Amino acid sequence: MAEDLNFIDLIALSRIKPETVVEKFGGLINSSFFDASNILGSLNQKGLITFTSTFPEQGAITITDLGKQTLQECAEKAKSDLDMLDFTILTQLSGGKRGLVDLAGAVNVRQRDLAMHLYKLAEQQYISYDLRNGNVDISLTEKGFLQVKSGMPKPQQAQAQAQAQPQGQEQAQAEPQTQQASTPIEQAGQAQPMQQNTPQTEGQAIEEQLIKAKKRSIYMIIGVAVVIIIIVIALILIEMKVL
């Protein structure tokens, strides 16, 4: 693409058809023959068009390969999402910058880049323009005005990820819920034997404690009996000595 391409060049180039002739081109861009000739001369110098003039026939205009490539790039650019430069241009237009020179100075970009983005905004109906007498006047459409008020939109890829993330979270939450729904049944089946075994374990412990207590009592009784027997024997021995 021609590095010094401007928006007026791009508008004029897009309006050239196979049957377009030099003598009638002014009517296609709302300009006089003199202004139209200047624009066509600019396109010719930039290698975007060529002339075929055979007197007394009218001069034919042919778009070169570079011109066709330029239009193709603009068409592809026009399909892309709104970016920060587009939004900045819309903001500057909203602030009153309606001419190409003012816009280029406000956004500080080359005329070629500005032309590409203006063409994109026009194709997506964010702006409208009026080309007349070799000058262009650019205005916001309602869509462009509302876009400025709503702010810079998120890229589609970010939106897709933002939409996919909650879905992934919902699926991730759904899986634990499914597992939790089945787990209590399994836990209940496993817990039931444990609940059955628990009373047996406590009963055995109590029974063992009772047995130990009985053993202690028996030992104590035996011990007391032995002491009593010893005392009795001692008393008998004492009485025998006395006698």
pLDDT by residue (tens digit) across 31-65? Answer: 898 999 999 999 999 999 998 876 667 788 999 99
The phi, psi pair for 82, rounded to 5°, reads -65, 130
| Per-residue model confidence (pLDDT) at position 160 | 47
Rank 62-66, 101-105, 222-226 by mean pLDDT and report only the highest. Answer: 62-66
Q: In this structure, are strands 49-52 and 60-63 parallel, antiparallel, or unpaired?
A: antiparallel
Name the residue ranges covered by the structural domains of the chain: 7-150, 187-243
Q: How confident is the model at residue 166 (pLDDT cuts 50, 70, 90)?
A: low
200 phi-psi bin (left φ>0, alpha ψ -120 to 50, beta other): alpha
pTM of the complete model? 0.61
Q: Assess whether pLDDT exceeds 80 at residue 159.
A: no
* 80's tokens: 């892309």
Give the mean pLDDT of the chain: 80
SS3 state at 224: helix
| Per-residue model confidence (pLDDT) at position 138 | 94
* Contacts of 58 by beta carbon, 8 Å cutoff, 6+ apart: 21, 22, 23, 24
Query: What value does the CA radius of gyration of the chain take, rounded to a whole number of Å?
Result: 50
Q: Which parts of the chain fold into alpha helices (H)?
A: 7-14, 25-28, 33-45, 65-78, 84-94, 100-107, 111-123, 142-150, 156-242
* 69's tokens: 């490539």
pLDDT by residue (tens digit) across 134-144? Answer: 889 999 999 99
Element (H, E) at 62: strand 60-63
Fold for 7-150, please state it: Arc Repressor Mutant, subunit A (1.10.10)
Give CA separation, 13 vs 29, 109, 113, 228, in Å. 10, 21, 16, 133
Among 92-96, 165-169, 218-222, name the one with the lowest average pLDDT: 165-169
Percentage of the chain lying above the pLDDT 90 cut = 40
State the average pLDDT over residues 165-190. 52
pLDDT by residue (tens digit) across 113-130? Answer: 999 999 999 999 999 999
* Contacts of 144 by beta carbon, 8 Å cutoff, 6+ apart: 90, 93, 94, 121, 125, 126, 127
Look up residue 106 and give its amino acid. Answer: A
* Contacts of 233 by beta carbon, 8 Å cutoff, 6+ apart: none
Q: Assess whether pLDDT exceeds 50 at residue 185.
A: no
Residues 74, 119: Cα–Cα separation, whole Å: 7
Q: How confident is the model at residue 105 (pLDDT cuts 50, 70, 90)?
A: confident
Q: Is the peptide bond before 56 cis (omega within 30 degrees of 0)?
A: yes
